[in-house]
C-alpha cells in the first residue's frame, strides 16, 4: 500500500471529520456539475448554462490546493462531459488546463479582490474554454461555432461571485472547523 493510501486510511479511522472535510471540495464541485447540467433550460435552449464547477475548481485551488489535486479536477471535468451530453474529454482537458494556470499563478490570483478577482477567473475560464474548443476541433476535424462557447463563458463569469460566496461560507463554517478538529 502506498504511503498516500496509508495516510488516507489513517485519516479515515483516526480523524473521520477531517477525512470528510477533505472530501467536501470534490463533492461540492460534483454537486455544481449536477446543478449546472439539470436538463432544464430557462431560455428555451437558446442560452447554454454556466460551467459552475469551474468556479469550484478555481476557488479550492486557490484556497486549499491540497484538497483539489489534479486527478480530482480530471474527474470533475469528466463528470461535466458525461452529464452535459457532449463528447468526452473536452471539459476534462479544459479543467486541467485551468487548474494548471490557477496553480501556477496562485499567489497573484489569491491577492485579487473585486473586479480584479473576476478578471482573474475570466482569464481562467477563457483558457478552459479555449482548451476545450481546440481539443474539439482537433478531435472532430471541424470548427465548432464560437458564439455559444463565448456566451457560456460570460454566463459562468457572471455566476462566479454567487458561487464563490457559497463556497467561502462552506470553507469558513464547515471545512475549516472540521479540518481543525473543532
- Residue 65 has what DSSP assignment? G
Question: In whole angstroms, what is the distance from residue 95 CA to residue 77 CA?
Answer: 6
Q: Pick out residues in 98-117 that bind other proteins (CB under 8 A).
A: 99-100, 103-104, 106
- Please report, for residues 34, 105, 120, the alpha-carbon distance to residue 81 in angstroms, rounded to integers and kept in the order given: 11, 26, 24
The residue among 130 and 170 lying less far from other proteins, judged by its C-beta, is 130
Angle of helix 90-104 versus helix 70-84 axis, rounded to 10 = 150
The tally of CA atoms less than 13 A away on the side-chain side of residue 99 is: 25
The residue from 7, 31, 88, 158 that contacts other proteins (CB under 8 A) is 88
Draw the binding track, 51-70, toward other proteins (x: CB under 8 A; -: no contact).
------------------xx
How many CB atoms are closer than 10 A to CB 14?
9
Among 34, 106, 28, 22, residue whose Cα is nearest residue 66: 22
Pick the piece of the chain touching other proteins (CB under 8 A) from 8-16, 91-99, 115-123, 162-170: 91-99
**Single residue of 87, 116, 161, 177 touching other proteins by CB under 8 A:** 87
Under a CB-based contact definition with an 8 Å cutoff, are residues 48 and 151 in contact?
Answer: yes
Which of 6, 23, 27, 144 touches other proteins (CB under 8 A)?
144
Shortest distance, CB of residue 75 to other proteins, whole angstroms? 9
Question: Does residue 139 touch other proteins according to CB under 8 A?
Answer: yes
Interface ranges with other proteins (CB under 8 A) = 37-42, 44-49, 69-71, 73-74, 77-78, 81-90, 92-93, 95-97, 99-100, 103-104, 106, 132-133, 135-136, 139-140, 142, 144-145, 148-149, 152
Amino acid at each position: 500500500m502506498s504511503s498516500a493510501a496509508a495516510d488516507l486510511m489513517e485519516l479515515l479511522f483516526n480523524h473521520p471529520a477531517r477525512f470528510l472535510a477533505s472530501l467536501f471540495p470534490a463533492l461540492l464541485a460534483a454537486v455544481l456539475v449536477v446543478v449546472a447540467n439539470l436538463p432544464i433550460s430557462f431560455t428555451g435552449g437558446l442560452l447554454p448554462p454556466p460551467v459552475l464547477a469551474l468556479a469550484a475548481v478555481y476557488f479550492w485551488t486557490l484556497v486549499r490546493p491540497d484538497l483539489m489535486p489534479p486527478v480530482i479536477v480530471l474527474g470533475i471535468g469528466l463528470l461535466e462531459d458525461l452529464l452535459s451530453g457532449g463528447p468526452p474529454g473536452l471539459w476534462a482537458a479544459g479543467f486541467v488546463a485551468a487548474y494548471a494556470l490557477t496553480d501556477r499563478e496562485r499567489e497573484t490570483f489569491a491577492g485579487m479582490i473585486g473586479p480584479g478577482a473576476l478578471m482573474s477567473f475570466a482569464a481562467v475560464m477563457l483558457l478552459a474554454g479555449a482548451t476545450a474548443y481546440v481539443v474539439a476541433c482537433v478531435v472532430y476535424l471541424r470548427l465548432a461555432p464560437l458564439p455559444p462557447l463565448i456566451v457560456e463563458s460570460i454566463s459562468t463569469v457572471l455566476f462566479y461571485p454567487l458561487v464563490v460566496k457559497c463556497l467561502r461560507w462552506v470553507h469558513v463554517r464547515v471545512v475549516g472547523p472540521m479540518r481543525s478538529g473543532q
